[in-house]
Amino acid sequence: MKAVILGGTTGMGRAIARLLAERGDAVFLMGLDEPELERSAADLEARHPQRARVGHALCNLEHPEGFTAALDAADEALGGFDTVVVTAAMFATQDRLADDTDLARRLMVVNYAHTVVFCELVRKRLLARGGGRLAVFSSVAGDRGRKPVVIYGSSKAGLSAYLEALDHSYHAAGLTVLCVKPGFVKTGMTAGLKPPPFAGEPEQVAAAVVRALDRRKPLIYAPAIWALVMLVIRSLPRFVMRKIGF
């Protein structure tokens, strides 16, 4: 693969970048912070000195005006990428979002509207070169309307619907779209929150994502137990969901 990873300096994105580099795939990192991008690229190069230089570019989902330049830089560095992984997103607790309407607006725009804009730019490039792979992190939070994730969950529900429709629309043209639905994963994003049962590790999720990319799957839950958990949650009647706090 020639893989671009948006969110490749932290958490699950970093774990995916390390796994791809370890097996010999070319990697290009995108993220919010130039020093962190430089450190992450240097880390990959030090781990695999026999590999080509790891390129990077600033890309902030709050600023779509920078998307094209970042993708141009990735294309130039990789000689044309064929895989894009998007792990970047915003997260905040429901209490914070309920109290801060501007924060809620920013989160919804980043997690849905601007992520879709980025994916559309990627889609056009990949289809122009005969296809490729696009993997985007949604969340189990989008599978059902739930009290603890009213705003965040709705942003991910919209993203999941978009990714499924994208797969239906362009699969025959060679575009593989993978929707990744993590449950609770122990990353910086979830720091300070009490881990529930079945909490995953970034490396565990990364391995599942890379396997799914190789097998061109359209959807995975990670850790896999969340597929069963959410099957049960989706089947619960509305009056039950009103009573429980999950």
Q: Check residue 141 and give its pLDDT.
A: 94
CA torsion through residues 206, 211, 214, 216, sign: negative
Give the range of the structural domain holding residue 192, as residue numbers without chain letter. 2-243
Check whether 74 has a pLDDT greater than 80. yes
Question: From the CB of residue 244, how many other CB atoms can be counted at a distance below 10 Å?
Answer: 10
Looking at residues 30-56, what average pLDDT do you find? 89
Number of domains the chain contains = 1
Instruction: Supply the pTM of this predicted model.
Output: 0.92
pLDDT class of 139 with cuts at 50, 70, 90: very high
- Give the C-alpha separation, 183 to 170, whole Å: 27
Query: What is the maximum alpha-carbon separation in the chain?
Result: 59
pLDDT of residue 188: 58
According to DSSP, residue 26 is labeled E
Three-point CA angle 231, 233, 235, nearest 5° = 70
The length of the chain, given as a count of residues: 246
Residue 183 is predicted with a pLDDT of 84
CATH of the domain at 68: 3.40.50.720
- Pairing mode, strands 2-6 and 26-31: parallel
pLDDT tens column, 10-38? 889 999 999 999 999 999 999 999 999 99
Q: Could you tell me what percent of the chain has a pLDDT over 70?
A: 93
* Helix axes 202-215 and 11-22, enclosed angle (nearest 10): 60
**Nearest C-alpha neighbor of 202 from the set 135, 158, 119, 137:** 137
Report the pLDDT value the prediction gives residue 49, as an integer from 0 to 100: 72
d(CA 34, CA 56): 9
Convert the pLDDT of each residue in 89-127 to its tens digit.
Answer: 999 999 999 999 999 999 999 999 999 999 999 999 999
pLDDT of residue 185: 75
